[in-house]
Structures are given as C-alpha cells and as structure tokens.
Amino acid sequence: MSEINEKRKVAIVTGAGQGLGLEIAKKFLSEEMKVVFVDVNQQLLNEVKNSADLQPYLSNSKFLQVDVSDVAAIKHSVNEILREWFRIDILVNNAGVRKETSIEDMTEEEWNKILSVNLGGTFFYSQAVLATMKSQKSGRIINISSYGGQAGPLSSGAHYCASKAGQLVLTKTFARSLASQGITVNAVAPAAIETPEMKNIDTNKLAKMKDSIPVQRFGREEEVAGIVSYLASDAAGYITGSTFDINGGLLMR
Ligand SMILES: NC(=O)c1ccc[n+]([C@@H]2O[C@H](COP(=O)([O-])OP(=O)(O)OC[C@H]3O[C@@H](n4cnc5c(N)ncnc54)[C@H](O)[C@@H]3O)[C@@H](O)[C@H]2O)c1
C-alpha cells in the first residue's frame, strides 16, 4: 500500500516530551495512529525516542522540536508532517507553561510569554492545520485547558488562568466555525493531575490541595489520556464546543 493510501490517522500532540502530552501521544500510538511528538525541549524528545516504550512504535512516530509560541516554526512543522505523512487528523494543543506569580509581581515579559505559549500556541497551531482538515472534511482538535481557566487560580497566576480561559473560548470559536465541515473542537479542563510538573508545587500546598479534592487523590495521566482518546475518536462526532472537566470533583457545574 502506498503511503498516500495508508489508513492510519495522523495525530499531532504538542508538549509531548513529558506529562500529559506524552501519555496522550502513547495512547494514540497504542490505538494504531501515527503520532507527531512536538516539544520545545529537544532533550525530552530524545529521551522519549530512546525509551523502551517507544521502540515498537518508531516507524509511526515523528519527533519535532517546535516552540509553539513561534508561528513560523508551527507552519514549518505542519509542512514537514504533510510532506511525509500527507494528512493530519488530530491536533492536541497540550503544550503549556504554568507559573504561580502574584498580581503584584507580574512582569510584562512573563505575561506575554505565558499568553503566547498557552493561548497563542493553541490558536496558531489550530490555524495551521485547518486547510488540511477542511480538505479532508474531517478533523479533531482538542485543547488542554485547566480548572484555572474556569474557577481561577489553584496553584498558578493570573496570566496562566487567563490563557486557559482563553483556550475555552477559542474552543467554541473554532467549533462554531468548523462544525459543518466534519471538524470537531473540544477542550479538556484538568486539575491536580500527577505529572512531572507537580514537583514544582510546594509540598505543604500539595497536601492541602489533596485534602480539598472530593475524591481525595490526585488525578492520573492515563485518566486524562482516556478522555482525549474518546474525543479524538469517530464515536465523538456529535460533540463539539464542549469542555470536559477532570478534577476529582473540585469544580462541579
Ligand atoms: N498536570 C495538571 O494537573 C494540569 C492541570 C491543569 C491543566 N494542565 C495542562 O495540561 C498541559 C500539560 O501539563 P503537564 O502537567 O503535563 O505539564 P508539563 O510541564 O509536565 O509538560 C508540558 C510539556 O510542554 C512542553 N512545552 C513547554 N513550553 C513549550 C513550548 N513553548 N513549545 C512546545 N512545547 C512546550 C514542555 O517542554 C513539556 O514537555 C498544560 O497545558 C497544562 O496547563 C495540567
């Protein structure tokens, strides 16, 4: 079978060097997709590529160092994917940076950085894959937002929460615009999932956070990957513009 007729779906996962992005990317590989691991951190990409878990899947994996706040780099990556794999079926906008800066200490530089990665990256990666998804008359975009974008800070700053709230409205904006063209756009809003990033949170704060979660534990990466996998599937074709909470009951709405 020539590459161009290959039936495997092609998924791009941003921030796939560790944490939720890595778990989502591995889930897609286990579902027989081709997966593009996008991350700004080349060392993390190398570690993933060399890990035992990935060895059976290397022919279905591509590793691209991309800073999602760099629009030219995003466009370049999409062209590279299309040149080799011809299609793009799924985009997961997962790359994100969290900072716990107070309102008083916020600098313009830090504000711009967080907004351009978390929100700009989501907008411009989605924009970059649209022409391809429209020509295929199908596609799935899934934005990894946060409880912080719904309820305000748990362990983050105003910039992070604003970027995550922005992702929720981008989800609806893209969903409305693309609904009639076979493309769905949804968001997942996690809170307190155990990823490497959690090591940056003060241990006393973590203990208090855990006590406040109704299910009395932190979330697991595979629990988030499970929702993303469902939203990426053909079975979820009637769901668009929605936000799926995964927060142990911290926010019930
Ligand atoms: N872990 C949680 O509890 C939680 C809760 C709510 C929301 N989220 C969201 O889920 C996503 C993943 O979180 P995580 O906990 O796995 O984080 P993480 O820090 O463990 O992983 C994030 C990945 O994104 C990459 N990245 C950072 N900046 C980038 C850039 N400019 N371009 C490309 N890649 C970049 C990092 O190198 C890293 O590999 C984030 O968007 C985060 O805001 C996580």
Q: Is ligand 1 within 6 A of the CB of residue 21? A: yes
Examine the residue annotation and report whether 125 is marked as an active-site residue of this protein. Answer: no
Write down the pLDDT at residue 197.
Answer: 87
Domain total for the chain?
1
Residue 153 lies in a domain: yes
Q: How many CB atoms lie within 10 A of CB 176?
A: 12
Nearest protein Cα to ligand 1, atom 23 = 15
Opening angle at CA 31, ends 27 and 37, nearest 5: 50
Residue 19 lies in a domain: yes
Q: Is ligand 1 within 6 A of the CB of residue 44? A: yes
Residue 92 lies in a domain: yes
| Domain at 88, CATH number | 3.40.50.720
Residue 251 lies in a domain: no
Q: Is 115 helix (H, G, I), strand (E, B) or coil?
A: helix
Which ligand 1 atom is at minimum distance from the Cα of 118? 41
Say if residue 92's pLDDT is above 90: yes
Q: Do residues 20 and 94 touch, judged by C-beta distance below 8 A?
A: yes
Q: Is ligand 1 within 6 A of the CB of residue 143? A: no
Residue 165: name the closest of 232, 212, 114 by CA.
114
Residue 253 lies in a domain: no
Look up the domain containing 69 and give its range.
3-246
**Distance of alpha carbon 69 from alpha carbon 55, whole angstroms:** 30
Q: Edge to edge, what strands does the sheet with 61-65 contain?
A: 61-65, 34-39, 10-14, 90-93, 139-144, 183-190, 243-246
26-76 tens-digit pLDDT: 999 999 999 999 999 999 999 999 999 999 999 999 999 999 999 999 999
Residue 37 lies in a domain: yes
Residue 31 lies in a domain: yes
